[in-house]
Amino acid sequence: MAPRTRRTEALSRDRIVEAAVELLDTSGEAGLTFRTLTERLATGAGAIYWHVANKGELLEAATDGVIAAALTVEPAGAPRDGIRAVALGLYDAIEHHPWLATQLTSQLSRSPWGSVTPRIFEAIGRRVHALGVPEGHRFTTTSALVTYILGAAGQNAANATSAVPHASRAEFLDAVSKAWEELDPDDYPFTRAVAAEVRGHDDREQFLAGVDLVLAGITAVHLPARPGRAG
């Protein structure tokens, strides 16, 4: 029993998860193995298995740790501002950790009873409730926000990793804009019309604009203006 006590003191679960996140950030999911983890932590596999049963559990813990940190936002004055703050926290986390989007998709769909899904739903849903969305509509409203936030942030992360090698984001967007401008005007009139807007747009600002559009829809549907109040 004594050796187990020493192992627990010498190597905590938190340190293992921290090392796993570091490996995921530098090498991706394929680079996270118990062998690479033991090398990074300068320990034996047994000491890690004492805290984490398998790679799946390790990925879940790493995802939960990053999301928990991302959702540590200061309370905002208005629920709408709080939702925007939570959205940006998730956006930044997904942008800084390229592996996170895939893990979130997997965990939200395959194990919504795990810690990650309730953590995200609580952070956004509590503010949806504070907005005044009526009972019976809060789950759908929160789901719409979560779907947009994670989907748009994940797409942005995918854009960053799949862009043309050695090209900056601005150069990539310029290439997209030029290609759209050359589309057949009969088949793609709208896409050609907005091609210039692609060039030089800010991904973060576009993301927040989308959040505001969803919030505007929530306000229009569930929070009609009171009599005598404009808008």
Which CATH number belongs to the domain containing residue 6 in this structure? 1.10.10
Average pLDDT, the chain: 88
Query: What is the pLDDT at residue 166?
Result: 60
| pTM of the complete model | 0.85
- What is the arithmetic mean of pLDDT over 106-117? 88
Answer with the residue of higher pLDDT: 25 or 165. Answer: 25
- State residue 107's pLDDT score: 87
Q: Could you give the number of structural domains in the chain?
A: 1
Tell me whether residue 39 is in a domain.
Answer: yes
Query: Does residue 109 lie within any of the structural domains?
Result: no
Is the residue at 27 inside a domain? yes
In contact, 211 and 148? CB cutoff 8 Å: yes
In terms of Cβ atoms closer than 10 Å to its own Cβ (0-12, 13-18, 19+), residue 165 is exposed
pLDDT grade, residue 177 (50/70/90)? very high
On whether residue 1 sits in a domain, the answer given is yes
Query: What is the Cα–Cα distance from 78 to 201, expressed in whole angstroms?
Result: 28
Q: Is the pLDDT at 3 greater than 70, yes or no?
A: no
pLDDT at 5 over 60: no
Q: Please state, in angstroms and rounded to a whole number, the distance separating the CA atoms of residues 102 and 142.
A: 21
Judge whether 141 lies within some domain. Answer: no
- The answer on pLDDT for 229 being more than 70 is no
Q: How far is the C-alpha of 37 from the C-alpha of 112, rounded, in Å?
A: 27
pLDDT at 201: 85
Q: Is residue 165 part of a domain?
A: no
Domain span holding position 40: 1-52
Residue 8 has pLDDT above 60, yes or no: no
Nearest to 127 by CA among 209, 63, 226, 211: 211
Residue that has been written with the tokens 């986390």 in this structure: 93
Question: Are 153 and 146 spatial neighbours (Cβ–Cβ below 8 Å)?
Answer: no
Angle, in degrees to the nearest 10, between helices 116-131 and 79-96: 150
| pLDDT tops 70 at residue 162 | no
SS3 173: helix
Give the model's pLDDT for residue 223.
84
pLDDT at 230 over 50: no
Where does residue 108 rank: exposed (0-12), middle (13-18), buried (19+ CB within 10 A)? middle
Q: Which residues are CB-contacts of 64 (< 8 A; sequence separation ≥ 6)?
A: 114, 115, 116, 119
Please report the pLDDT score of residue 171 as a whole number. 85
Residue 20, in any domain of the structure: yes
**How far apart, in whole angstroms, are the C-alpha atoms of residue 91 and residue 35?**
31
Euclidean distance between CA atoms 169 and 171, whole angstroms: 5
Q: Are 105 and 154 in contact (CB under 8 A)?
A: yes
Q: Which helix (H) or strand (E) element contains residue 216? A: helix 203-222
As given in the structure block, the two tokens for residue 151 are 């989907």
> Using CA atoms in the order 78, 82, 85, 87, what is the torsion angle rounded to 10 degrees?
-130
- 157: confidence class by pLDDT, cuts 50, 70, 90: confident
Residue 2 belongs to a domain: yes
Instruction: Please give the pLDDT value at position 99.
Output: 94
Residue 87 in tokens: 């959205």
d(CA 212, CA 59): 32
